Structure formats: C-alpha cells, structure tokens
Structure 1
Amino acid sequence: MRLTWFDANAWLLEAGERRILIDPWLVGDLVFNQMPWLIRGVRPQPVPIPASIDLILLSQGLEDHAHPETLKQLDRSIPVVASPKGAEVVQGMGYESVTTLSHGETYSFQDMLQIRALPGAPIGPFLKENAYVLTAEGLKIYYEPHGYPAAEKVQDLTGVNVAITPMLDISILGVGSIIRGREGARELAKWLKPQIMLPTAEGGHVTYKGMLAPTLRKAGGADELRSHLQSLGLKTEVRPPRPQEPVELSSRGVIG
C-alpha cells in the first residue's frame, strides 16, 4: 500500500491497482464561502491531478475537503463516497455515482477496500462530519482531519495500523480552535496504539492570506507528539510525510 500527501488534507491511497483520492485540494486557491478577502489558502503551484483515479473519498462538505475547483476538473464518472454534506457538493456538480455514508455505515469498493464511516469533526452545533476506517491489503487506516476522534467509537476499534490525524492545534484569534490536533492525536495514540501516525491538515508548502491570516495560531506538532508518546512508553512511530513523496506501507510498518 502507498500513501501520498498533497498538503492540507489531500491524500492519494494506492492499494493494489486501485487509486483513491481523499479530500482533494490540488488546483486553485482555497476559499471559504466565496470570501477570499477573509482567508485564502494559496499553493505555490498546482499539484498535477493524479491519473486513473478509481474512487474519490470525501470526509466533509467544507471547501478544504470538497474543494470545488479541484472537483470540477475531475471526471464526473469517477465514483464518490462521501459524508452527507460532501455528497451534496458532488451531486450538485453532476457526479454520476455518489454513495452517501452516514455514521456506522460501511461501503465495499470492488472487494478490495472497505470503508467504514465514524463520527468526525463537529461542524456547527448539530452536525458531525465523517471519520473513516479504511481496510485493504491486510492494513487498517483511521482517517479524521480535524482532531475529533469519537471516544465511544474509536476506543472499540482494534487492529488499526495507521492513524492519519492532525497533530497541531490551529486557532483563529477571537474565533477559537478550527483544528484540534494536539489533544486529538494524543487520544488516538492512547486508544488505538497504531504502528504509525501521519499528520494531516498542516500547511506544507501552502500559505494563507486575507484578513484572518495574521491571526492564525499554531501549537503542538509532530515533534511534540513524538516526545509525548515516548514519555508514555508507546512505540507508535510519528512520521511526517513530505508533500508528493509516496510513503510505502506494509503490515510491518513504513518501508519507504
């Protein structure tokens, strides 16, 4: 199995001959609610859209997970599995095959990948988006990009090899936390005891502009988490990936 990170929350999972694109933001700017003056994510250059995508997986309907400009450039015939809000976005764009996964539901893709939806990040007072457990090639991967593992569900999981989760707290001064990575990653490590943890939702080469950009605050990170796990005697490997450089995985851990 191979995982490639494209900055922010965008990942490519390659299992066997299948390629699954997760929460893709690859081209154009990241803008929320059509307000670029407020906050705008900027890539130094676009990421080439991977060829031969077999499935798109969306954890949320927000623009940093269901990025409109990227989704408009992808083939509408590619099947999509998404949270209910993510499904609304791609259905509105004319995607032909959209499967909505609510919490607790499972989807099997071509008998080689199982996707189970769990509660993820709270978006407002009444909505929780999706976390996922992906199982393929004898590996089990937990993915949630905002740092909100659902204790009542995650603590029951067994055999998770890889956890993809934010490791930073990211907040906006006067607004509050938007990413809860610091404590969320510690909780996951304690509950799941995965072999490997990979950070997501970090900037990589991305920069932010707009009125709110100077108020962004970050705390925590991979180095801090690694030290914390060592102090607890946990053997989980914290492995920050490099943008666009594949990470090879096996049941034995990171192999490249």
Structure 2
Amino acid sequence: MLRQRALEVLSKDLVQSATLFRKASGVYHYLAHEVLPPLQNALPPERPPEATSRVSSVMSLICLADAQAVTVKKAEENGNTGGLLAKLHYGVKEFLVEAISELHSVTKECKDISSQPFGFYFMLQNITRAKDVSAVVSEETVVKSGDSVTDTFKLTYLEGNSWLWEVGGVKILVDPILVGNLDFGIPWLYDAAKKVLKNFRLDDLPEIDYLLITQSLDDHCHLKTLKPLSQKLPNLRVIATPNAKALLDPLFSKVTYLEPGQGSEIQVSNGSSVKIRSTAGPVLGPPWQRPENGYLVTSPQGQLTLYYEPHCVYNENFVEKERADIVITPVIKQLLPNFTLVSGQQDAVRLAKLLQAKFIVPMKNGDLDSRGLLSTLVQSEGTIESFKEILLKEVPDAKVLEPTPGVPLDISLTVDSV
C-alpha cells in the first residue's frame, strides 16, 4: 500500500513520494527481520517465496532504490549537477545490484516462485545492465570530480535516543540502547522496549569508529548496552558529557569529555576531519549543575553541519550564533505533571529557525512500548503534523525528513569548488 501510494503521488509531490518509498522499505525490513523469521518453522514447505525473509529484504532494497531515484529527480529539478547527481545515480544502481544478488539466492531455492517477483527480477537485471556503464562513470565522478564537492550524512534511527551516523567514512554510534530494556534501574516503576527494532542487537552493528554520549542518564548512557560494548570493543573511542565520567571511565580507556563549547576532531582517511563541538543541553538536577550535552557535527568538507540534542532543550544565546543544515530533534512534547521531560513543537521550530536549518529530522524518543507507574503519568503533546504546520509558517524552506527505524536516511549537499 505504501509503495503504491508513493507511485500515485510521484507526479505531484516528489518529497512525499520519496518519504513513502522509505517507509515502505522500513515495513519490508521489519517483515524480513522481525515478523517472518519466527514464523518460518510454522509455515508449510510449499510456502510461496513472498512469505520468506529474503523476498521481503529484496523489496526493502527495491523501495530504497525507488526513493533514491525520486531524490535524483528532485535534485535535477533543483538544478543540481555534477557530483551529487552522480552519487545519487550510483546509489540507485547499488541498491538494485544488491537486490538482484539476494533474488538470485531466492530463485535458486524456490522453484515455484510466482510470476510477479520473477518478472520483476528480469526487469531489475535489464535496468542494471542498461546502467552499468553510466554507473561506473558516476562512481569515478564522485571520487574524482574537480568542479564540485559532495558531503553526506547517513543517519540510521535505532529508536529511542539511539542513532548510527556515518559521515566522511566515520561511523558514530549515539546513545545506544541495544541490550535489554530501558528501565533506569527501577523496572517496577518504568520499563520500556522498542517497537520496531525489537531484535536488533550489538552484533547487528557494523564496525563502529566512535561512541557519542549526550547525557548521563540511562536513556542515553545505558550501562546494559555499554558494558558488553566495551568488552567487544575495548579500544573504542568515546566522546561524552563529563557528567557521565563516573559511568564511562570504568568501561572505556579512550574517552574525551567535552564541556559545552569545547570541541574535538575525528581524523578521516584523506587527511581531513569530522569536527564535533558540544553545546549546552538540559540541566538534570539543581540549577548549579553542569548541563548535559548537545552536539554540532561538521562533515569533512565543511559543507554540512548536523545539530543533535535529544530533549529539544538549548541555550538560545549559544545556538543563535551557530548554523546547522540538519537538525535532529524531538518535536512531540513529553510531559509529567508540572514538568517537561522532552520539549518540541514551537520550541523545535524556534531551534530550526535559530540554526537556519535546511532539514529537520524528527525523532520519536517517547514512542516505546512502556509499562509501570511512571509510564502512565507521561503525557504527549502535539504531533509531527502540527509541528509541520508551525514550521511551514516560520521556516517555510525547511524540509522535514521522517526517519524509518533501521533504514538509512542519506542527506547530501554538493557545492561547486572554486
């Protein structure tokens, strides 16, 4: 249904179409990794291939290719040329090649594959063959082009406050909760589990270069996750708030603690660096306590800057002096009686306006399966739709890119070199 809807709106709204394709990919990804594997033993041997995880994985890749192709069209409409278009075209080809490889395995295992995916398989082969030459040229253009520079953030939402970012070839794991539930050590009062990536584990992560911690509480500095992570990656480099020092020092030996306003650099292979600078986040305690951290992350070419703070709490005097192309923030408020746990809505719009953001990536860090007394007291205020309405009035040029858990979201910018 989502893919069909994406096709229906393709001629009218490219941004909505790409978003729907990404959501469809997320649904297929969820089927492939969460729904279908436990059912395989219960299904009859003559089950159709469409009921297998591999076919759902193929469809997830196809939908990602669709979304990338729509992004190409939008970039062309915006007048982009050179490196960005080359990289986008090459991305479409890569998704299709991976889909074909996976489908090859399916057709070998399933002799009775139905006509619909089988026909689609041949269509994919023809598309890929037709684009092989141009894709090779595109790859070289991305690497060697002298007239433009492309910077890209690849953002994968892992639910809650957790993210996996890739920029300049550096993979950064942010506030991970990947082992057990979130319970703050009081499971009888609060216990929360992810809704989509229920079976995503540490072993499912790619090779990680850095760990980034924003706050010292359990929903950011999750010891159930960090202890086994430190055993698996004892030399992992960490950037964190000093408030988490007592928790992190026993686990990791290479930790850089940043006070608000301080920065650090991550060297990348070509001699440039990813720059990370901390900002002031919420104060979780008495007024004289050090605030927790937000972060500004700047890509190696310096063309893209990302801002992240998971409570939508910020120091306006600091933020108004900064600029960020991408803002990751909650937009739905989470409220306790007489206390705001997580801000959003107008505050998120104000943040985007101060930073002159081009892209807003809303996170649903309160959208968890929770139970316990405290969970019954937390109330939500606002929706993504109401946020979009306010944003349209105050920052009309900003685009909202809704992430699908587990599905990478690529944000690129190409700038002509002098």
Query: Aligned pair 1:66/2:221, yes or no?
Result: yes
> Which residue matches 1:19?
171
Alpha-carbon contact 2:353-2:394 (below 8 Å) kept? no
Query: Aligned pair 1:43/2:205, yes or no?
Result: no
> Which residue matches 2:358?
195
- For 1:65 and 1:4, the matched residues in 2 are separated by 16
Moved over 6 A (4+): none
Q: Which amino acid aligns with 2:228?
A: Q
| 1:115-138 alpha-carbon deviations (Å, 9 max, x no partner) | 101111121123310111000142
Query: Aligned pair 1:164/2:328, yes or no?
Result: yes
Question: Per-residue deviation at 1:193?
Answer: 2.1
| 1:87-144 alpha-carbon deviations (Å, 9 max, x no partner) | 331113x211011000111100114211101111121123310111000142100111
Bigger radius of gyration among the two: 2
> Which residue matches 2:388?
226
> Which residue matches 1:103?
260
- For 1:52 and 1:107, the matched residues in 2 are separated by 21
| 1:164-195 alpha-carbon deviations (Å, 9 max, x no partner) | 111011012x3521111223202112211211
The alignment partner of 1:188 has SS state of helix
The alignment partner of 1:51 has SS state of coil
- For 1:203 and 1:118, the matched residues in 2 are separated by 22
Write the mapping of 1:137-148 to structure 2, written as runs, cut at 5 A. Answer: 137=300, 138-148=303-313
> Which residue matches 1:88?
246
Q: Aligned in 2, Cα 1:188/1:63: closer, same or farther, shift over 3 Å? A: same
Question: Per-residue deviation at 1:26?
Answer: 1.7
- For 2:243 and 2:374, the matched residues in 1 are separated by 25
Alpha-carbon contact 2:353-2:395 (below 8 Å) kept? no
Q: Aligned in 2, Cα 1:25/1:175: closer, same or farther, shift over 3 Å? A: farther
- For 2:200 and 2:219, the matched residues in 1 are separated by 15
Work out which structure has the larger RCO, using CA pairs closer than 8 Å and 6 or more positions apart in sequence: 1
Q: Which amino acid aligns with 1:56?
A: L
Q: Which amino acid aligns with 2:394?
A: L
The alignment partner of 1:65 has SS state of coil
The alignment partner of 1:86 has SS state of helix
| 1:28-53 alpha-carbon deviations (Å, 9 max, x no partner) | 11011x21111111135232321210
Q: Which residue of 249, 269, 294 maps to 1:131?
A: 294
- For 2:224 and 2:274, the matched residues in 1 are separated by 27
- For 2:314 and 2:382, the matched residues in 1 are separated by 17
Alpha-carbon contact 1:4-1:243 (below 8 Å) kept? yes
Q: Which amino acid aligns with 1:157?
A: E
Alpha-carbon contact 2:331-2:344 (below 8 Å) kept? yes
Alpha-carbon contact 2:349-2:394 (below 8 Å) kept? no
Q: Aligned in 2, Cα 1:64/1:113: closer, same or farther, shift over 3 Å? A: same
- For 1:85 and 1:70, the matched residues in 2 are separated by 18
- For 2:346 and 2:245, the matched residues in 1 are separated by 29
> Which residue matches 2:33?
none
Aligned residues: 247
Gaps of 5+ in 2: 1-152
Alpha-carbon contact 1:222-1:238 (below 8 Å) kept? no
- For 1:181 and 1:229, the matched residues in 2 are separated by 12
> Which residue matches 1:149?
314
- For 1:57 and 1:64, the matched residues in 2 are separated by 13
**Comparing 145-154 with 70-79, which one deviates more in the overlay?**
70-79
> Which residue matches 2:123?
none
Q: Which amino acid aligns with 1:7?
A: E
- For 1:232 and 1:123, the matched residues in 2 are separated by 30
The alignment partner of 2:178 has SS state of coil
Question: Per-residue deviation at 1:27?
Answer: 2.1
Alpha-carbon contact 1:76-1:96 (below 8 Å) kept? yes
- For 1:242 and 1:134, the matched residues in 2 are separated by 21
Which has the larger helix fraction? 2
> Which residue matches 2:210?
55
- For 2:308 and 2:370, the matched residues in 1 are separated by 24
The alignment partner of 1:212 has SS state of helix
Q: Which amino acid aligns with 1:119?
A: A
Alpha-carbon contact 2:304-2:325 (below 8 Å) kept? yes
> Which residue matches 1:208?
370
Which has the larger strand fraction? 1
